[in-house]
Chain A
Amino acid sequence: MKPEKILKRYGRSGDNLLAILHDIQDASPEHYLSDADLRSAADYLRLPYSFVHGVASFYTMYSLKPRGRNLIRVCQSPPCHLLGSSTISRELIKVLGVGFGETTADRLFTLEMTSCLGVCGVAPAMMVNDRVYGNLTAERIAGIIDDLRRAQ
């Protein structure tokens, strides 16, 4: 969906900013907010661009640079750490060939760190787009990535 269309669904009131940014980013194939997106949101809500930029850069779920088609967010919080999240991270780096904050050359995956995902009962955990994977082991990682590749 075009950003203009998304904007029209909301009233011109500043408290809709976060929701608008979420929707625009979700609709973006590269999961990010471009400068033009920020400007059109600012114009629509009659807010200064610098304010909108400030909001977008404050919240960790908004990205101001293009990302891969699948967002892999690996939990780095203490409960997952206790159960071996560092092994999972290492394995993902190995399998994907990129580090945290980076996107694979085929633009299929971006690897990110996240704080607790609220599924510590099945730690260690990660989230790929909207789906949560729990009870992870290093052995399972390659298979999960393969499945995601094939699903494209």
Chain B
Amino acid sequence: MKPFQSIAVGYDGSHDATVAARWAMEAAKDFGAVVTIVHATGLREHLHQQFVADVTPPELIALAQECAFDESGLHWLVANGDACSVLLRMASPPINADMLVVGSRGEGKREGLLLGSTSLEVAEHASVPVVVVPSSYVEN
């Protein structure tokens, strides 16, 4: 199997997204892949701009250092859309992700329901493998 070269991970600042980003960086080290951390700018975000396009959030830089992941292989992307559509788009040019990574639940989601689960929606529609990282996951 060809090693994965481009991993995209959805990020909304939540605990679950952070766990997913950490897994993506650890995996990317093994594969020698680049990591694109993508934030979906939803409809309401226009009211209170939270993430800025050109500035990688400091907590992600700190996370990369913690994982000893080379920052030159870390890309930050802010894209318009809902979390599911934005992550799915990462499998197309210019990112061409060959693996998508999501946390198991974003902020404010209810357990045990299909609807409202970005991870399941992404898994259902994706054209490349999807990794869903459980929120309790700790690398050992």
A complexed with B: no
- Taking beta carbons and an 8 Å cutoff, which residues of A are in contact with B? none
